[in-house]
Amino acid sequence: MSSRTPPGLPIVDATTPPVLALAGPLSRSQVPGACAELGALLDGAPDGLVVCDVGALGPPGLAAVDLLARLQLTARRAGGRICLRAPDPALRALLGLVGLRFEVEGETEEGEPALGVEVEVEPGEAAV
């Protein structure tokens, strides 16, 4: 019996967050289905985190802003959170313009040091 992973299957462990892939073009009629899908993913999500892959949304617009705002609200109401994967710079600018802040995969939150970063101290100083 082999312990190798079958070809084509990704390795998923208990800490890997589920991914909700969003693709454009978007319409308002897609919002309820996307929110329902997010709710189902949050049920089994470790740490209440779902990654929203927005790389295939296409040109950002108000439909994308509306969808992401509703997804964020859905996640918060369920006690979870979402994180964006591969957001277009124009989408990030538009979200910032309307005052919506999202965690982006691979970035540290404001005020938190990146993992693995060590702060150098002078000899004789207490480490912080």
Encode pLDDT of 54-92 as tens digits. Answer: 999 988 999 999 999 999 999 999 999 999 999 999 999
pLDDT of residue 62: 92
Mean pLDDT of 5-20: 68
* 19-104 under CATH 3.30.360.10, yes or no: no
Nearest 5°: phi and psi at 44?
A: -110, 15
Burial class (CB in 10 A: 0-12, 13-18, 19+), 20: buried
Please tell me the distance from the alpha carbon of residue 128 to that of residue 119, in angstroms, as a whole number.
8
Mean pLDDT of 27-50: 93
User: pTM of the entire structure?
Assistant: 0.74
Q: H helices of the chain, where?
A: 31-43, 62-77, 89-97
